């Protein structure tokens, strides 16, 4: 589903200033090795705190809550759609959150913008499951993305994934495993034994209220 372009989108994006980093893909030919525009996180955030990422942050509810809870961590939140990321950035601005920046663009361009080996955790929350098999390469746990995350993450750092979609979770378990990642802290019904610090998004809340299980995993490289 393609969303209609929001009214005044350009003005609103401009008002968000440097809260949004644009992974411009005008030429659609980013050469990872030759054409990097690497972010300097220390300059960006004004400190050398650890960096974590959410990929597919939607309207930013999760990342804003997390950033408020953990002010000593810096967050990069990636979202493909301008229509959506503008809501997220406005939310962070309205809450006065200083330790988040949003990156507009597809995860396939991340290596051009994020230095290798600096990310201490990646969150994948309720990513689009792309149920059709022919779209499997778009799933954010497809091996082409896992290879990118592997470059971005510090050694032994983790990906934390949550989803309500059973088939997507089965796919994710198999893809991580086949690509040599180690799985831990798997939950096949997160709310049966909910960790105290779990951040429940609106989306997650709705599915849980319908009695549907939320699946969760952590994956890391040994």
CB closer to a copy of itself out of 79 and 164: 164
Nearest to 130 by CA among 121, 122, 139: 139
C-beta atoms surrounding 169 within 10 Å: 22
CB closer to a copy of itself out of 22 and 160: 160
Work out whether 192 is an interface residue with a copy of itself (CB under 8 A). Answer: yes
What is the strand order of the sheet 74-79 is part of? 20-22, 100-104, 74-79, 51-55, 119-125, 153-163, 215-220, 182-187
Query: Which residue in 35, 47, 137, 185 binds a copy of itself (CB under 8 A)?
Result: 185
CB closer to a copy of itself out of 47 and 177: 177
SS3 83: helix
Work out whether 178 is an interface residue with a copy of itself (CB under 8 A). Answer: yes
CA 16 from chain centre, in angstroms, equals 19
Work out whether 174 is an interface residue with a copy of itself (CB under 8 A). Answer: yes
CB closer to a copy of itself out of 170 and 202: 170
Work out whether 173 is an interface residue with a copy of itself (CB under 8 A). Answer: yes
> Residue 156 Cβ, how far from a copy of itself at the closest point, in Å?
14
Work out whether 186 is an interface residue with a copy of itself (CB under 8 A). Answer: yes
CB closer to a copy of itself out of 47 and 185: 185
Using alpha carbons, list the distances in angstroms from residue 212 to 129, 205, 207: 16, 10, 6
Task: Report how far residue 12's alpha carbon sits from residue 26's, in angstroms, rounded to the nearest whole number.
Answer: 21
> Exposure string (b/e) for 127-136, b if CB count within 10 Å is 16 or more?
bebbeeeeeb
Work out whether 37 is an interface residue with a copy of itself (CB under 8 A). Answer: no
* Residues in contact with a copy of itself by the rule CB under 8 A: 166, 169-170, 173-174, 177-178, 182-189, 192, 215
């Amino acid at each position: 589903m393609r969303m209609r372009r929001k009214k005044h989108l350009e003005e609103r994006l401009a008002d968000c200033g440097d809260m949004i980093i644009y992974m411009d893909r005008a030429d659609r030919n980013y050469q990872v090795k030759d054409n990097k525009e690497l972010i300097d996180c220390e300059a960006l955030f004004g400190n050398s705190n650890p960096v974590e990422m959410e990929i597919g942050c939607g309207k930013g509810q999760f990342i804003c809550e997390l950033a408020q809870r953990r002010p000593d961590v810096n967050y990069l939140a990636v979202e493909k759609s301008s229509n959506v990321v503008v809501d997220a950035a406005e939310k962070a601005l309205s809450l006065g959150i200083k330790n988040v920046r949003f990156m507009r663009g597809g995860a396939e361009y991340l290596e051009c913008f994020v230095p290798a080996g600096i990310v201490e955790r990646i969150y994948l929350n309720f990513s689009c499951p792309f149920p059709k098999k022919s779209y499997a390469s778009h799933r954010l746990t497809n091996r082409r993305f896992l290879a990118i995350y592997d470059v971005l993450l510090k050694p032994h750092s983790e990906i934390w994934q949550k989803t309500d979609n059973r088939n997507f979770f089965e796919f994710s378990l198999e893809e991580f495993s086949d690509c040599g990642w180690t799985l831990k802290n798997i939950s096949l019904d997160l709310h049966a034994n909910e960790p105290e610090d779990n951040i429940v998004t609106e989306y997650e809340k709705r599915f849980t209220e319908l009695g549907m299980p939320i699946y969760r995993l952590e994956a890391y490289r040994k």
